Amino acid sequence: MGNSASTPADINTSSTSVTTEKSLLPPEECPMHKQVNDIKPTAPSTDAVVTTNEQKIIPTECPMHESNVNKPKLIPSECPMHQSNVDDAPLDPTNMMPPPNQRPSPNQPFELNTNRETSTIPKGGVESETKWQYPSEQMFWNAMLRKGWRWEKDALSKNDMSHIIRIHNTNNERAWYEVLKWEAFHRKEDYEPKLLKFGGKASEYSPRARFRALMGYDLPFDRHDWIVDRNGRPVRYIIDYYDIGDENGYKTGEFVELDVRPAFDSPGAFVDRSRVALLRWTAGAIHWWKGNSDETASSS
């Protein structure tokens, strides 16, 4: 009577109950499905809890399956978020540039040319007779944005970008021509200088540029370091770019003065620069002498 044992059916409804009705179970296709026999009630208690050691089986098609959770997300190369298109993409050690990006940038105001011009500069480090290729207008634009430049309304036009590319390519051809003058000291019959790699150092002024600034001259607006293959030996050249301030030159593109010389990092560079300094001084003295001779002859 009063001391009779209670059965699970007699547990007060205020306590947590265990329902084993199949009609309340999820369908078999659901990962949360459980068979009736898998549910085992615990001893009656006011804090009754259903426990099970059975692991929930999730189908492989489910996004939460372990084979899908830990799988790396593959991004197609056409996507702007692909590794070759984001800022932390690996740089090409030969020119310190990311892989070529020919896609328009977000909010780009006009379409740009993607054609690339081939230079006359031989590319070192390769067996084939390969020449360096200049960046396209689109590649140059993307590089400017990557370095912090931001387009503003009426700042640049499509024609301006074509003009910039032409000036860029012309200055590189001029720089290589100056390098060949220095390399003439080491010319051999079967030897052809080649450009191995290069990089910009606009914020790192060379000692020569700093000395010129102390003498009252302007600092260069850009600097490049070129590594040239001299018959199997790498030689570093420094190229400082100076703005000569010629307004007519801005229209023609001939407003840049180049100071090209081998870096003072080897005895051979010291010898070459000393020879050139002597030749330049001699040429200046001859020019001065001829000028004085012409003035003397005209006065007599």
For residues 243 and 257, what is the distance between their CA atoms, to the nearest angstrom? 6
pLDDT reading at 9 higher than 70: no
Q: Closest Cα partner for 226 from 271, 258, 273, 184?
A: 258
Sign of the CA dihedral 63, 67, 71, 75?
negative
Q: Which residues pair with 225 in a beta bridge?
A: 199, 238
Work out the average pLDDT over 245-263.
Answer: 76
Q: Which residues are CB-contacts of 160 (< 8 A; sequence separation ≥ 6)?
A: none
Where would I find the H helices in the chain? Answer: 66-69, 137-146, 158-183, 207-214, 247-252, 267-299
Helices and strands in the chain, H and E counts:
6, 6
Cα–Cα distance for residue pair 278/113, rounded to 1 Å: 46
Say if residues 259 and 242 touch (Cβ distance below 8 Å): yes
Q: Report the C-alpha gap between 185 and 189 in whole angstroms.
A: 12
CA dihedral angle for residue 61, residue 67, residue 71, residue 75, rounded to 10 degrees:
-20
Q: What is the pLDDT of residues 28-37, one digit of tens each?
A: 666 555 554 4
Residue 239 three-state SS: strand
Task: Output the pLDDT for position 176.
Answer: 96
Higher pLDDT, 4 or 272: 272
CA–CA dist 149, 72 (Å, integer): 33
pLDDT at position 84: 45
Model pLDDT for residues 170-198, shown as the tens digit of each residue: 999 999 999 999 999 988 767 789 999 99
Of 87-91, 184-188, 196-200, 221-225, the one with minimum mean pLDDT is 87-91
Phi, psi for residue 28 in degrees, rounded to 5: -65, -30
Residue at 171: amino acid letter: N
What's the average model confidence in pLDDT over 79-106? Answer: 61
Question: Which pLDDT does position 149 carry in this prediction?
Answer: 80
Evaluate if residue 49 carries a pLDDT over 50: no
Q: At what angle do helices 158-183 and 137-146 cross, to 10 degrees?
A: 90
- The residue among 261, 251, 188, 191 whose CA lies nearest residue 223 is 261
Q: Is the pLDDT score of 78 beyond 60?
A: no
For residue 237, how many other CB atoms are within 10 A of its CB?
22
Residue pLDDT, tens place only, 95-113: 555 567 788 888 888 899 9
In this prediction, residue 238 carries a pLDDT of 96
As a whole number of Å, the end-to-end CA separation of the chain is 151
Asked if 17 contacts 11 with a C-beta cutoff of 8 angstroms, the reply is yes
Taking only Cα atoms into account, the Rg of the chain, rounded to an integer number of angstroms, comes to 37
Which token pair is 268? 């051979």
Tens of pLDDT, residue by residue over 111-123, are 999 999 999 999 9
Residue 5 has pLDDT above 50, yes or no: no
The number of residues making up the chain comes to 300
Distance between CA atoms of residues 208 and 15, nearest Å: 88
Among 138, 149, 147, which Cα is nearest to 112's?
A: 138
